[in-house]
Structure 1
Amino acid sequence: MRNATLKQLRAVAAIVETGTVTAAARKLNVTPPAVTMQVQQLEEHLGLPLLDRAGDRFQPSAAGREVLAAVARIEQAMADCGAALDAMRGLRAGRVDVGLVSTAKYFAPAALGAFARQHPGIDVSLVVGNREEMIAALRSDAIDVAIMGRPPVDIEVDKTLIGNHPHLMIAPVDHPLIGRRVPASVLANASFLSREPGSGTRGLMEKFFQESGIEPRIAMEIGSNETIKQAVMAGLGLAFISAHTIAAEVDDGRLAILDIEGLPVVRQWFVVKRTAKRLTPPAAALAEFLGRRGAEFLPDAQSATLKKQMPKS
């Protein structure tokens, strides 16, 4: 059956339903010879007769009854697929696979939740990782879209701006540099807590220090922003980090922002898709929603304390 065509299967079903080749041809809107040819080709392929003549009408053979049962299942599957696609076009159903760089988890779930409330029939699946992992997921089409700070340059992508993404330096609340604007050179002898290689934050930190003529002393490499914040609170070092990860701790007085010349470094958040990938209507609707409303969910727009303490660029 692997090489059987839908035309052949439907020709057999139409003959059984109508009883004659002529009637089947009218039902299928083709000529009687075309119907006969489709049935003959299928019988030759299967090596079994599919129709028996009973008087002036055709009826299915034993093999024909098996084929008819398969045709019924195929037609039902096609109908179900059509209904599912209609629902997706109407944004009543479907699934979107979204990749988040780990820093985006501080605002993206709220944005995705707002989208889900507008479209309760659409399932949103999240994958969280560092920048390199999200690029790999885009390349393999494991995700529909990614929320990230720096789109890849080695694959062709379409990007939609969500909003600004500032990065700054945090310290424990009793650090001696708090309240003073100081040059980056004062950090030359400090210890830093850093994200792992492959992280977008790590790459941006290295670029900032390189431009400042500083070779930072990395005391610890930590793969979690939450752990980095706890380590800074414990006095284990300073950290270059996204402002969007620290709003709650700054508001609560558990972390402080250092006023360093050249900071904050402001990048942007984007929703990114591979150019060659055709998005389903639900995925396209989500990308449009994030571009239109995503900035509403960025933490620094909601935290008065963070806005007050964040250095001016």
Structure 2
Amino acid sequence: MRNLTLRQLRSIQAISRHGTIAAAARQVGLTAPAVTLQVKQIEDDCGLALFDRTSDGMRLTVAGEAVLSAANAIDTTLRGLCEQIDSIKGVRSGTINLGVVSTAKYFAPRLIAAFRDAYPEIVVKLRVGNRHAITAELKDYKLDIALMGRPPMEFPVTSTFFGDHPLVIVADPAHPLARERDIPRERLLLETIIIREQGSGTRAALEGFFISDLDRLAAASVEMGSNETIKQAVMAGLGIAFISAHTIAFEVEMGRLAVLDVADMPIRRKWYAVCRQERIAAPAERAFKAFLVERGAKHLPLLGALYPEGAVRAG
């Protein structure tokens, strides 16, 4: 495999993206026979097929996935090299492919705007998705940095802490519990609790809070797949919900949601900027991570403003 060329790898990337030789050839500026030859050369070199030829187009084999992953890693390294050379020349520019889990979308625009004020020539491309999708894109080198609460364990990463992530119970302001203080966790299990889907960090934190009562939690809970749906359900009086405090600042300010004063809450988690461990960070990425460490927490919603006056805030 030592004779691989960038042109061959880019042909693999293009076929994977478009599914056909013809479309890939148009993207890379070669003829279709030339792209076919690029693929055949790699297949001959490794002794394995890289694609399954199907009626729906060309689909990567396991070997093809491995070659694509390497191609993406090489692309990322080369882009980082270009930006590092620019940095040595004194150019403060570059591009950051930033992914954020859905809960972080409520503050990510403020972070990006503040960062762009300091580095106006750095372009930040934002991708929002659930934790599974963002982790998969980080693994496939489609993202340079991901903002999330639980760094993945499936592959080596470096994680940079930049702020606290409080999780709270909310209800309709007219709910009887909104007037109570120091509510015991057992009392919550008498209500319908609206929770996120399996695999979300918020769901995992709630299950940890009720670790000795998971059966009762399952019986009392209703699962919904997005923070917006959960907030609408609570405002409609369908139940109470466990949710990130960073997603509800507007609704609390407008009097549409109330944060319940629950004993041993808020549950405090952390926000991390996560990168693949083996990647060499480009200057733009290093600048963004330094910004997050120095100033990121200032752009997160303030938890204290969400509570009713006099409420007990344990945790």
Q: Which runs of 5 or more residues in structure 2 are unaligned?
A: 4-79
Deviation at 1:136, TM superposition (A): 1.5
Given the superposition, is the C-alpha separation of residues 91 and 271 from structure 1 closer, same or farther in structure 2, using an over 3 Å criterion?
Answer: farther
1:198 paired with 2:199, answer yes
Normalised TM-score (structure 2): 0.68
Alignment-derived partner of residue 186 in structure 1: 187
Q: Is the 8 A contact 2:95 2:125 kept in 1?
A: yes
Given the superposition, is the C-alpha separation of residues 106 and 219 from structure 1 closer, same or farther in structure 2, using an over 3 Å criterion?
Answer: same
Deviation at 1:304, TM superposition (A): 2.7
Q: Whole-Å Cα distance in 1 between the matches of residues 236 and 150 of structure 2?
A: 31
Alignment-derived partner of residue 314 in structure 2: 312
Given the superposition, is the C-alpha separation of residues 206 and 148 from structure 1 closer, same or farther in structure 2, using an over 3 Å criterion?
Answer: same
Match of 2:218 among 192, 216, 219: 216
Q: Whole-Å Cα distance in 1 between the matches of residues 81 and 140 of structure 2?
A: 27
**What letter matches 2:205 in structure 1?**
L
Alignment-derived partner of residue 249 in structure 2: 247
Q: Whole-Å Cα distance in 2 between the matches of residues 294 and 310 of structure 1?
A: 27
Alignment-derived partner of residue 138 in structure 1: 138
**What letter matches 2:120 in structure 1?**
P
Alignment-derived partner of residue 294 in structure 1: 296
1:87 paired with 2:86, answer yes
Q: Whole-Å Cα distance in 1 between the matches of residues 302 and 83 of structure 2?
A: 40
Aligned length: 234
1:275 paired with 2:274, answer no
> CA RMSD, aligned part only?
2.5
- SS of corresponding position for 1:288: helix
Deviation at 1:88, TM superposition (A): 4.6
Deviation at 1:103, TM superposition (A): 0.7
1:116 paired with 2:105, answer no
Q: Is the 8 A contact 1:257 1:310 kept in 2?
A: no
Q: Whole-Å Cα distance in 2 between the matches of residues 239 and 144 of structure 1?
A: 33
Deviation at 1:83, TM superposition (A): 8.2
- SS of corresponding position for 1:163: strand
**What letter matches 2:141 in structure 1?**
D
Please identify the structure whose Cα radius of gyration is greater. Answer: 1
Q: Is the 8 A contact 1:144 1:273 kept in 2?
A: yes
Q: Whole-Å Cα distance in 2 between the matches of residues 217 and 286 of structure 1?
A: 43
Q: Which runs of 5 or more residues in structure 1 are unaligned?
A: 4-80
Alignment-derived partner of residue 268 in structure 2: 266
Q: Whole-Å Cα distance in 2 between the matches of residues 165 and 83 of structure 1?
A: 35
Given the superposition, is the C-alpha separation of residues 218 and 108 from structure 1 closer, same or farther in structure 2, using an over 3 Å criterion?
Answer: farther
Normalised TM-score (structure 1): 0.68
Alignment-derived partner of residue 158 in structure 2: 158
- SS of corresponding position for 2:178: coil
Given the superposition, is the C-alpha separation of residues 307 and 101 from structure 1 closer, same or farther in structure 2, using an over 3 Å criterion?
Answer: farther
**What letter matches 2:86 in structure 1?**
A
Q: Whole-Å Cα distance in 1 between the matches of residues 225 and 284 of structure 2?
A: 32
Deviation at 1:284, TM superposition (A): 1.4
Identity percentage of aligned residues: 44
Deviation at 1:153, TM superposition (A): 2.2
Q: Whole-Å Cα distance in 1 between the matches of residues 84 and 245 of structure 2?
A: 41
Given the superposition, is the C-alpha separation of residues 146 and 251 from structure 1 closer, same or farther in structure 2, using an over 3 Å criterion?
Answer: same
Q: Is the 8 A contact 1:192 1:220 kept in 2?
A: yes
Q: Is the 8 A contact 2:189 2:220 kept in 1?
A: no
Q: Whole-Å Cα distance in 2 between the matches of residues 237 and 132 of structure 1?
A: 27
**What letter matches 1:188 in structure 2?**
L
- SS of corresponding position for 2:186: helix
1:106 paired with 2:106, answer yes
Given the superposition, is the C-alpha separation of residues 232 and 280 from structure 1 closer, same or farther in structure 2, using an over 3 Å criterion?
Answer: same
